[in-house]
Amino acid sequence: MAAMDNSLNQKRQQEYTEYYAARMKKYENSPMYKNSYESEKALYELMRDAKSEAEYKEKFFGEKLHLKNAIALVKDRELARLKHLLDIKEVVRARGPQRILAEVDQIGDVASLTERCNEINQANSIEISVDELTDHFYSDFVWLENYEVWETAEIPSRWKGKVKNWLKEDLKETRKLWREVDVPAAKLYDPDWRLNYELLKEDRHRRKIPVPDEALKKRIEEHKKYIGEY
């Protein structure tokens, strides 16, 4: 009976060794998964070299190799995300991986690791939503262009009064939409929110507005004048 148990344990250990060898090879020579490779390698070598089931279980749980393995994967993924986001200057989105990387090594179990990563990403998603409220400006930018076209168009005298009244009503409705819909919706995310025109100069917002700097500057001043700085 003891011999049979020993044989089964050896077979199980061999299967674990092959399993971790396959996991290790998945990350081998990958510049993005250096931490994961080292972690998987440690697990593979443990299963390969352990002299008994008791030995590998003691080291596996005693040194928390399963937790280290999870942390390694999180670190690799968040380092890759952080590099990409900083490369394209998405500084608000980059706060998520920055915070995870700052905390990940202090987390004591896998469940807490998953929970904390979710909490950080959820908080960051709110920050991203608030930051993207700045995109309201581009919708109004297009409206300002159209308003200028109609305001400066050469119109037969018999239509000038109607066009003037129409522009007046259109401006009234646009202001109402901004003040009664857009701004209150923004304040649901951030009670202190107001449109920060300086953010429009930052890369993540500036690249969405394909016009020269002077045109942007002009529309910002018009936005303040016609719609308001709420």
Question: Among 93, 128, 163, which residue terminates a domain?
Answer: 128
Instruction: Provide the domain count of the chain.
Output: 2
pLDDT in tens, 11-21: 898 999 999 99
182 and 99 inside one domain = no
Same domain, 122 and 185: no
- Choose the final residue of a domain: 128, 150, 177: 128
Which of 76, 99, 128 is a domain's end point?
A: 128
Pairwise CA distance, residues 188 & 197, whole Å = 20
Answer whether 51's CB lies under 8 Å from 6's CB: no
Over residues 20-75, the pLDDT tens digits come to 999 999 999 999 999 999 999 999 999 999 999 899 999 999 999 999 999 999 99
| Residues 180/182/184/190 CA torsion (nearest 10 deg) | -160
> Within this chain, do residues 31 and 48 fall inside the same structural domain, yes or no?
yes
Q: Are residues 54 and 154 in the same domain?
A: no
Residues 9 and 106 in one domain: yes
On whether both 105 and 161 belong to a single domain, the answer is no
Q: Which domain holds residue 155?
A: 133-226
What pLDDT is recorded for position 6? Answer: 66
How many other CB atoms are found less than 10 A from the CB of residue 222? 17
User: Does residue 138 sit in the same domain as residue 123?
Assistant: no
Work out the average pLDDT over 202-225: 94
At residue 230, does pLDDT exceed 70? no
Question: What is the predicted pLDDT for the residue at 9?
Answer: 80
Please give the pLDDT value at position 2.
52
- What is the predicted pLDDT for the residue at 99? 98
Residues 26 and 49 in one domain: yes
Token digits of residue 61: 């749980």
Q: Which range, 154-168, 180-194, 196-210, has the best average confidence (pLDDT)?
A: 196-210
Give residue-wise pLDDT tens across range 115-174. 999 999 999 999 999 999 898 888 888 899 999 998 888 889 898 899 899 999 999 999
**Same domain, yes or no: 187 and 111:** no
Helices and strands per DSSP (H, E), number in the chain = 11, 0
Q: Are 53 and 9 in contact (CB under 8 A)?
A: yes
Residues 173 and 80 in one domain: no
4 pLDDT above the threshold of 50: no
Taking only the tens place, the pLDDT of each residue in 112-130 is 999 999 999 999 999 999 9
Q: What is the pTM of this model?
A: 0.85
d(CA 42, CA 66): 11
Q: What pLDDT, on a 0 to 100 scale, did the predictor assign at position 226?
A: 86
Residues 195/230, Cβ–Cβ less than 8 Å: yes
* Residue 85 and residue 124 in one domain: yes
Residue type, 69: N
Alpha helices by DSSP H, listed for 133-202, are 136-152, 157-177, 183-189
169 with 104, same domain: the answer is: no
Question: Which H/E stretch holds residue 8?
Answer: helix 2-27
- Among 72, 16, 25, CA closest to 49: 16
